[in-house]
Amino acid sequence: MPFVTVSDGTKLFYELRGNPSNPILMFSNSLGTTLNMWDNQSSAFKDTFQLLIYDSRGHGKSDAPSGEYFIELLGTDVVELLGEISIDRVHFCGLSLGGMVGMWLGIHAPHFLNTLALCCTSAYLPPVNMWNSRIQKIRALGMESFVGGILKRWFTPGFLQNGSEDLEFVRKQFLETPREGYAASCAAIRDLDLRDQLPAIATPTLVIAAQEDQATPVEHGKLIVSHIANAEYVEVANAAHLSNIEQPEKFNAALFNFWERNAE
C-alpha cells in the first residue's frame, strides 16, 4: 500500500490513479469520511486527470495520532505528501475539512496550486462550545453515538428516504473513522479562522455551496467568494453537505466547467 511518512512520524495513505502524463487533480476528504468519498469524481475525471487522493490524518488508512490537530498541521501534511512523491503542482479540490485545508494552501503554499476548488466549506465555523461538546461525546461514546445526526446534516431528507447505496457507503466510512482521529480533527475546525487571510488567495478559485447544506450553509460559501478576487461561485440545488455524492452530475459539471476555463 502507498504511504508516506510526514515529519512528525504520521503515515498518510494515498492513491495515484490514471495516466501520469495528465495534469494532476488532488482531492481532500471531509471530516468523518475517507478518500472513497470521491469515487464518483474519480470515475468522471479519470480520463482527463491523473488523480491523487489521500486519507487526511485521523481518517481511513492514515494514522490517527492522539491530541488535537490544527489547520496548519493538515495543510503541511499535503505539502509534505507532495514533496515525498515529487509532485510540483496540482489542481486541488477539497470538501468541508478538505476545503479548509485548500484555503490554507491557497494562503500559505500557492506555488503548489494550479486551481483551487473549495466545496461546502467554511473559513470560520463556530460555536466553540458545540465543537467541544462533540469532541467529548465522540471520545466517550464513539462514532455510533453521532452517526444518525450527522447523516441528517450531510444529506437531504429525500436522499435519506431513498436508501441509496451511497448512503450506506458513507455511513460505513463514518463508523470506521477512528474516534480519536475524528475528535482531533474537530479541534482543527473549532480553532479555524481564515477570514482575514482569504484576500491573500490569488489562485483561480471555485467555491461550491449546496442549497440545503446545514453544516456549512450557503452564506459561508458566499463569504469566501467575497474575500477572494475573481473567485467563481456555484450553488448546487437539491443537495446538502456531501453534494458531490448526492448530486454528482451537477457537482462534476461545475468542476469541469471551471477547469476548462482555467486550463493551462
Per the listing, cell 450553488 goes with: 235
CATH number belonging to domain 3-261:
3.40.50.1820
Angle 71-84/179-190 helices, nearest 10 degrees? 110
Mean pLDDT over residues 41-68, rounded?
96
Percent with pLDDT over 70 in the chain? 99
Which residue type is seen at 137?
Answer: K
pLDDT, one tens digit per residue, over 195-250 is 999 999 999 999 999 999 999 999 999 999 999 999 999 999 999 999 999 999 99
Where do the domains of the chain lie?
3-261
| pLDDT at 264 exceeding the cut of 60 | no
DSSP for 202-232, please give it.
-S-EEEEEETT-SSS-HHHHHHHHHHSTT-E
Return the closest-CA partner of residue 74 out of 192, 207, 209: 192
pLDDT given at position 234: 98
